[in-house]
Amino acid sequence: MSKEKNSNQDSYPYEIRDNYLFVTTVSKRGSITTKVCNFVPRIVSEKTVDDGAVTEKTLVLSGIHADGSTLPPVEVNGADLSNFNWLLDKWGAKCIIEVGQRCKDQLRYYIQTTSENAEQLTEYHVTGWKKIDGEWHFLLPGDGSLHVTLKGKLRYYCGERNWSKTDLHTTKLLYTMPPARKEIIHPLLAFAFLTPLNEFLRQAGCMPKFTLFLTGRTGTRKSTIAALILSFFGAFTSTDLPMSFQDTANSITANAFTLKDVLTCIDDFYPSDNAEMKKLNTTAQKIMRAYGDRTGRGRMRADCTLMENRPPQGNAIITGELRPDVGESGIARYFPLELKDGDVNLAYLTEYQEEAAQGVYRRTMFAYTEWLKRRFICDDDHEEKFVKRLRELYDSYRSDFLSHGVKCHGRLPEIVACLMIGMRFFLYFLKENGVIFQDEKDEEIKNFSELLLRVAARQAVDIEYEKPANIFVRKLYALMESGDVVLKRKGSHGDYTPSFFSGIVNSDYLMIHLDSVFPLIKKLCSDSGEAFPYTKNSIMKALVEEGIAEPGRQSTTRVTKIQNFSMRLLYLRKDKTDAIAEVNDDVEEVA
């Protein structure tokens, strides 16, 4: 750090008298000395602030007042320096600039002349990988290499440098003797060690596009488990997680951009009533789409130029007592893990929490990122090969999952591939540091693949259940059971009138009058607090695509003659609808 000049040193045409600032101007009439202000400011440091999207200049100012008091250091944005709107808020009413715009211009100029010996700083308001002077650095507050600052609830993120092999052996125990079922802890560990690879997976075109959703009844320790996994990136407990569903969706997505290549947690999806359920479902939908699509909101400045896009750059765990109602596409954007009563070994959990508090997992993550840097991204050639290898692994794991024939949403094989990559690099890191042997690594990768296949198969069932066409069919059967929708059996006596009947039925088809049925289904969902954001046409299309509806030759509905008049009815295959509604499954006779 350079030494600063004496704050009272004159610099012509400026002069300091008794801590008042004067300026001398020369005209045809001679020299005139004018008072500018009753304090003498100076630049202490010039700071470049990088938030991951834009860089801005800020100045740290200090000074001395005419009464002899020292003015405290204040931070002023470079763009705001000349308007002095900050002066009253920062230094109070006793600091007075003389009347006239010219005095402000003179004071601004004088302040800038004091910058010669000001300290030059760069401050980062973002985490994760950053290439600086041709070298990759992993940014985290407190790791001692670069100045990284996070504010608010993000202040608990921090790194710790001085690792030892004992830390790695302790981390291995979290894997081999987990505090909860392996079906919970192993995917979470894979997710944690996947996250520092995000930058390079993005370059490879296969960035993770999902969240992990950890559900469980109150008391199952879901927030505590999430905090334990987050301890690889900071000093977290269940009471100080970075985000929650009490935050606004906009603040969550803004923080998601800042937290690049690190894991975060959005805690406590638990609506207390129907009104809050709708609000939190909307927030959850925005979060799922932000992480699932890696897109930020497009915004414009006041001058109509586009602002920099700010998509999520890290990965997120979400916790809740129940899953949000976000539809088929929303469910496909998260990977569910369910904690049940008795799943957590409290003795193990307490021990691992103590290790986390001592910084064991932070030091392990520092060792991991340094290993990645040394092993794979030490220069451009290694980085190019690394990115290519990540893509090959992603394609290979995705194809392997598809080969098992699990009927699923197209996103699920991608989720499995990403988690496999995370586990592979975690085990590879332990092997190269002498913590496990090659045969252990190979066996554990195989075991994890089988574990993911089981969990993914359950996720596939959930996604299938939430398909719009399947929801429609289940709600239709609910209305038929309650008598709100009546289908006349074909060939029975009596007139068909849409005011009393909504269609006809035979052994092969439900033939429904969609215009009368669809509003009833919308109302049923609304009354029960469930989202049903589909139009009549989108439902008809979904029913045809799923093979549930059989369209006519020229349109989705068919003209059907009923007694003396014709109606357009939607033909639903009864074998398909009965299977979806689980008709005749597990019927219990009670009378």
Contacts 24+ apart (CB under 8 A), 94-102: 94/38, 94/65, 94/67, 95/37, 95/38, 95/39, 95/65, 95/71, 96/37, 96/38, 96/39, 97/36, 97/37, 98/34, 98/35, 98/36, 98/37
* pLDDT, average across residues 150-171: 94
Q: Has residue 567 got a pLDDT over 70?
A: yes
Name the average pLDDT for the chain: 88
Does the pLDDT of residue 7 top 60, yes or no?
no
Using DSSP's 3-state secondary structure scheme, residue 383 falls into helix
**What class has domain 135-297+308-465?**
alpha beta
- Work out the average pLDDT over 256-265: 96
Q: Is the pLDDT of residue 116 over 70?
A: yes
pLDDT value at residue 148: 94
Q: Per-residue pLDDT for 587 more than 80? A: no
Q: How confident is the model at residue 304 (pLDDT cuts 50, 70, 90)?
A: low
Residue 214, pLDDT > 80, answer yes
Q: Is the pLDDT of residue 255 over 60?
A: yes
The Cα–Cα gap between 300 and 307 comes to: 5
Note the pLDDT of residue 63. Answer: 95
342 vs 301: which has the higher pLDDT: 342
Q: Which of 35-44, 137-146, 427-436 has the lowest mean pLDDT?
A: 137-146
pLDDT of amino acid 301 = 59
pLDDT band at 171 (very low <50, low <70, confident <90, very high): very high
pLDDT at position 149: 93
The per-residue pLDDT for 24 is: 92
C-alpha pair distances (Å), 83 with each of 101, 108, 222, 488, 571: 9, 9, 51, 78, 71
pLDDT computed for residue 494 by the predictor: 54
> How many Cβ atoms from other residues are within 10 Å of residue 173's Cβ?
14
Q: How far apart are CA 356 and CA 360, in angstroms?
A: 6
So what's the pLDDT on residue 208? 96
Q: What number does CATH give the domain 468-580?
A: 1.10.10
Residues 223-250: tens digit of each pLDDT: 999 999 999 999 999 999 999 999 998 8
What's the mean pLDDT in 64-93?
Answer: 93
pLDDT tier at 330, thresholds 50, 70, 90: confident
Mean pLDDT in residue range 334-353: 93
pLDDT digits (tens, 9 = 90+) for 523-547: 998 888 777 878 888 899 889 988 9
What is the domain partition of the chain in residue ranges?
14-122, 135-297+308-465, 468-580
Per-residue pLDDT at 256 = 94
Per-residue pLDDT at 440 exceeds 80? yes
Least confident of 27-31, 482-486, 547-551: 27-31
Instruction: Give 577: exposed, middle or buried? Use CB within 10 Å, 0-12, 13-18, 19+.
Output: buried
Query: Closest Cα partner for 469 from 408, 536, 370, 406?
Result: 536
DSSP SS3 for 513: coil
Confidence at residue 584, expressed as pLDDT on a 0 to 100 scale: 65
| pLDDT average, residue stretch 312-327 | 87
Q: What integer pLDDT is reported at residue 274 of this predicted model?
A: 72
